[in-house]
Amino acid sequence: MQERHSDPWRYFQEQELVTRKHVLPFLRRHLRVDRRTRVLEIGCGEGGNLVPFIELGCECVGVDLDARKIENASAMFARRGLERAPELICRDIYALGVESLGAFDLIFMRDVIEHIPEQERFLVHLRSMVRPGGRVFFGFPPWQMPFGGHQQICASRVLSLLPYYHLLPARLYERMLRSGGESPDTVQTLMEVKATGISIEEFRGMLKRSGYAVEDETLYLINPGYEIKFGLTPREQLGLIGAVPYLRNFLTTCNYTLAAVAG
């Protein structure tokens, strides 16, 4: 699995396809998405998720802390050859707000919230950047799911394909990564994810406490992204499993949530 994470163009294309085929239809159940829509992606990485929005005429802004990824994103958009490109910003989102960025109809995060420390503080920070009637989209893997630790980025084929071992106690998990030959940067990244990964129940609670109302939520047994990555057909979570607290975290590979600012 490591190869796809080291190929920015491939990753860019995967982001674009998943958002076009799966995320946009989910959003359009509740939100108009057209040239009047202003979109902010936080943790935009290579930026592929923004392509379908740009094609619809949306005004798009992408923010990421990683300067290398912002550089890659600029190169990817040039290669993609779109008439328009998003505004790409390399900066900490806490250093940005409605005063510098303005407000948005859609704030978009896919595979990002599980990496962010102080998640409730982050959610509160976003509220002022949501226009009246605007929404915030989250797509994330519950922490307890088979690869919720993001161990698929491991260089070791065994460690990249081994499910659930990220749930081991932190010291044992770190020792396992190091003994498996993972680089210090990979070990640090995976340990950071272990510290910030969240369950479905934790996420719902954080949204409520931070002043959001959930408008739509879909749990997936098979992540829509797995269709492109592994050739698997996306499948929503079984009703019985999805209704059982805590158990659903171990068998749900993705959560799509659309939220509005409450009140």
Tell how strand 38-42 and strand 104-110 pair up: parallel
Give the contacts of 213 (CB within 8 A, at least 6 positions apart). Answer: 207, 259, 260, 261, 262
Q: What is the pLDDT of residue 83?
A: 83
Q: How many whole angstroms from its chain centre is CA 185?
A: 20
Calculate ∠ Cα 42-48-52, nearest 5°: 100
- Polymer length of the chain: 263
Q: Say what the pLDDT of residue 182 is.
A: 97
Give the separation between CA 79 and CA 64, rounded to whole angstroms.
20
Q: Helices marked H in 62-102 — which ranges?
A: 67-80, 98-101
Domains, the chain, in order of start with CATH, read 2-144+197-261 (3.40.50.150), 151-196 (no CATH)
* pLDDT digits 0-9 by tens, 19-69: 999 999 999 999 999 999 999 999 999 999 999 999 999 999 999 999 999
Question: String of b and e for 54-64 (b: at least 16 CB within 10 Å)?
Answer: beeebbbbbbb
Rounded Cα distance, 60 and 69, in Å: 17
Strand partners, 219: 255
CA atoms within 13 A on the CB side of 33: 26
The DSSP output letter for 142 is: -
Q: Is 50 exposed, middle or buried (0-12, 13-18, 19+ CB in 10 A)?
A: buried
pLDDT digits (tens, 9 = 90+) for 154-165: 999 999 999 999
What's residue 8's pLDDT? 87
In terms of Cβ atoms closer than 10 Å to its own Cβ (0-12, 13-18, 19+), residue 148 is: buried
Provide the pLDDT for residue 7.
83
What was the pLDDT predicted at 230?
87
Q: Pick out the chain residues at pLDDT < 70.
A: 1-6
Quick check: 194 and 172 in contact, CB under 8 A? no
